[in-house]
Amino acid sequence: MPQPRLSPLSNFGLTIVSVIVLLAAIFPTQPIRTRGAAAQRSDIERRINALLARMTLAEKLGQLQQLDGHADGRFKDEQPELVRKGLLGSTLNVRGVKNTNDLQRIAVEQSRLKIPMIFGFDVIHGYRTVFPIPLGETASWDPAAVKRAASIAAAESRAAGVHWTFAPMVDIARDARWGRIAEGSGEDPYLGSVMARARVQGFQGTDYSANDKVVACAKHWVAYGAAEAGRDYNTTDVSERTLREVYFPPFKAAVDAGVGTFMSAFNSLNGVPTSANPFTLTDILRGEWKFDGFVVSDYTSVEELIKHGVAADGAEAAQEALNAGVDMEMVSRLYNRHGAELLKQRRLTQQTIDEAVRRILRIKFRLGLFDKPYADEARERAVILSPANVAAAREIAARSIVLLKNEKHVLPLAKSVKSVALIGPLADSQKDMIGSWTGDGRAEDAITLLQGLKSKLPQAKINYAKGCEIGCDRAEGFEEAVRAARESDVVILAVGESAEMSGEAASRTSLDLPGRQLDLVRAVQATGKPTTVVLMNGRPLTINWIAENTPAILETWFAGTQAGNAIADVLFGDVNPGGKLPVTFPRAVGQIPLYYNHFNTGRPPDSNNKYTSKYTDVPWTPLFPFGYGLSYTQFKITNLQLSAPRIPANGKLTVSVDVENVGKRAGDEVVQLYIRDVVASVARPVKELKGFERVRLEPGMKRRVDFALNPEQLGFYNRKLRFVVEPGEIKVMVGPNSQDLIESTFQVVER
């Protein structure tokens, strides 16, 4: 829409009024945080109006620009001048109080309108104190622990001058070839939503202007995890039903938790790149969900519209992205380069630009940056890597570990053991412990399993042998490893992937242990010593031989700064493992996508009938199912009861079970609730997770666990894509994983 023209006089009058409004707005009589939420919001809008009235087009486009700093946290040479001129509103990777304050000082003291910068950074699973990779954290099935990790990450980030994390990544991933499965919460929309909420709450708290909080960013909007063939950045084609039922829910949970920003993704979705997709960016996000924060593009994803083939040049790319609803452009500079000309040609409206600026300023105000733009160096020193944060990292890492096998109670190992062979390329690799996306984390802070064992067992002899490199193709080190095993009472084998094998741009076509690691396992196992395999990896692995032949397996993911101590805590029984898989482990890469909440087909697999849905070479079942994990104690889940045999479509129901620790140690069980809508107007998944609780029980103790089922959990999208609860039978299943379940049913009836 073109701007109405004003006479010079009215222009002058407006300028005086806007200066007064601006002064009043920028220096309010009361600090913003002490007033009620509604008053605070309208105050912010008033202050934004005052600024918008004063901003030139170039300054507005400057707010829409984010540029990259150096990897070590410094800003780039051109940036101070851009900031001084009001042409740059945000950076990524600039961090550390010295760097951020230096640039901020220019924005706040030397630019015409004194609009503060917002400093973004990928704080994915910790800033300097690194927690387990998100997939690992999710394996804790403990939203309180996940929230706590995010909260510590936020405190360290803000102390280092960072205001904004590009997390949580809430992409559902059903394909373990995709390396970014490590960064999310796995395959399930319900678990993913619970974790999305926990992380947003942890990062943002109730008020992210606090000096220990940051604003969060739900990414990558959307369906990025559905990349064809698991190849990063690849095309996605997903029905609207699957978007609404599988890929959207964790994003919606983030919005409901108050997330301040979104990141548009790299992938094209049903033919329209997600960084130029008005359906997802505007109709869903703004229209249906009423999201009022801003959307940042992923790195150069605006410019990439040209390669996608939906924009002929930079001007068209800017036009499409901004009109679709991408407010801030990360790294490429097309809004800045072409904004004025696009406005002149009426390919963009002033209103669109103003709205994007408004959304960004809104978040800057909510962050309190106008009132408190600087970070404090003393605080940076006190908060980062504090002993309390490091202790939390150890605790949370131990909670994320999953016991996959424990034949003849090989684990826990006795602390009285005289000698331990620690073998494998991951046994003493600091850099791999912290996984991908390490924030400001340093390899030198990380505790390896070798270090963890040494401090756990000061008296024992640790016979360490690397055996081979992660990707090795030779067996030279095997002999030494076998000797170490022979000379020891027990063997621990640390095998898996390197940190760079998962994360961004780290897709694999094989899920096997890389290199000749499996041969190393076989050689060591042949010594007959009691062997525990400790897996370190960013995705499910196809470990069939190990699952069959080694007596004990611990899945530890990449457990972070305190990995070695946490794993030792679990190996020697100071912590009883209670984690569960947030993702299905397949037997073969050819089974992918393999996920528990699939549809039934008209010919469900039947081993007695050839013409049913299965393979001729590999069973159709997973190696380890979703939700699976053992403990050093045993639990029984019994006495499934429903509060009513039937409920109306808008009704609620309570599902209750008893969970009892029938073993000899205190431990945690994750009680999981699944449902199935047996007959509906559209096919429904064979089971869907709808509730869970991680319960701690002393030996011999029993507890009743209740789950509420309400219309939101019972409904689905019908043939017209309307969300409905239909009358009919609902099967209820409860158990310790998605396979071993006790069942009951109830009816939903018409009123």
User: What is the C-alpha R_g of the chain?
Assistant: 27
Helix then strand count (H, E) for the chain reads 24, 26
Which residue type does 632 have?
A: Y
Residue whose beta carbon is closest to ligand NOJ: 166
Catalytic residue among 298, 432, 569, 677: 298
**CA geometry: angle 217, 246, 711, nearest 5 deg:** 105
Q: Where does residue 346 rank: exposed (0-12), middle (13-18), buried (19+ CB within 10 A)?
A: exposed
Write down the least CB distance from residue 178 to ligand NOJ, Å: 12
Tell which positions 715-744 bind ligand NOJ, by CB under 6 A. Answer: none
Q: With contact defined as beta carbons under 8 Å apart, do 252 and 289 qualify?
A: yes
Q: To the nearest whole angstrom, how small is the minimum distance from the Cβ of residue 88 to ligand NOJ? A: 16
The token pair at 1 is 């829409």
Which CB sits closer to ligand NOJ, 217 or 630? 217
- Answer for which of 174, 219, 338, 587 binds ligand NOJ (CB under 6 A) is 219
The residue (of 93 and 633) whose beta carbon lies closer to ligand NOJ is: 93
**Rounded least distance, CB 27 to ligand NOJ, Å:** 35
134/425 with CB nearer ligand NOJ: 134
> Measured from the CB of residue 177, what is the shortest distance to ligand NOJ in angstroms?
17
Site string for ligand NOJ, 155-184 (x = CB under 6 A): -----------x------------------
Indicate the angle between helix axes 478-486 and 517-525, nearest 10 degrees.
Answer: 30
Cβ proximity of 18 and 56 under 8 Å: no
Question: Token pair of 346, please?
Answer: 């009426």
Total number of residues that touch ligand NOJ (CB under 6 A): 7
User: Partners of 728 in the beta sheet?
Assistant: 748
Q: How far is the CB of 298 from ligand NOJ (least distance, A)?
A: 5
* HSE-up (13 A, CA, CB side) for residue 425: 26
Sheet containing 702-709: give its strands across.
635-642, 653-661, 702-709
Residue 440 in contact with ligand NOJ, rule: CB under 6 A:
no
- Smaller CB distance to ligand NOJ: residue 188 or 298? 298
* Footprint of ligand NOJ on 287-326 (CB under 6 A): 298-299
Question: Nearest distance from residue 500's CB to ligand NOJ, in Å?
Answer: 15
Helix 189-204 with 249-256: angle, nearest 10 deg? 30
CB of 433 closer than 8 Å to CB of 496: no
Per CB under 6 A, contacts with ligand NOJ among 663-682 are none
CA 469 from centre of chain: 29
Kindly identify the residues of this chain, within the stretch 486-505, that bind ligand NOJ according to CB under 6 A: 504
Q: Which is nearer to ligand NOJ, 32 or 167 (CB)?
A: 167
Burial of 408 (0-12, 13-18, 19+ CB in 10 A): exposed
Cβ proximity to ligand NOJ, 166 vs 624, nearer residue: 166
569 is catalytic: no
Restricted to residues 88-147, the positions that interact with ligand NOJ (CB under 6 A) are 92, 122
Give 95 or 684: the residue with its C-beta nearer to ligand NOJ. 95
Residue with tokens 């108050």: 258
542, exposed or middle or buried, with CB in 10 Å at 0-12, 13-18, 19+?
Answer: buried
Q: Is 544 exposed, middle or buried (0-12, 13-18, 19+ CB in 10 A)?
A: middle
**Separation of alpha carbons 262 and 140, rounded Å:** 26
Task: Return the number of the residue (220 or 587) whose C-beta is nearest ligand NOJ.
Answer: 220
Say if residues 643 and 554 touch (Cβ distance below 8 Å). Answer: no
Q: How far is the CB of 570 from ligand NOJ (least distance, A)?
A: 30
Contacts of 84 (CB under 8 A, 6+ apart): 106, 110, 111
Q: Within a 10 A sphere around the Cβ of 610, how many other Cβ atoms?
A: 8
Closer residue to ligand NOJ in complex, CB, 274/406: 274
Distance in angstroms between the alpha carbons of the first and the last residue of the chain: 50
Cross-strand partners of 708: 654
* Smallest separation, CB 371 to ligand NOJ (Å): 27
In this structure, are strands 118-121 and 90-92 parallel, antiparallel, or unpaired?
parallel
Residue 492, both tokens? 């621990």
Nearest distance, CB of residue 558 and ligand NOJ, angstroms: 17
Positions that interact with ligand NOJ (CB under 6 A):
92, 122, 166, 219, 298-299, 504
Report the catalytic residues: 298
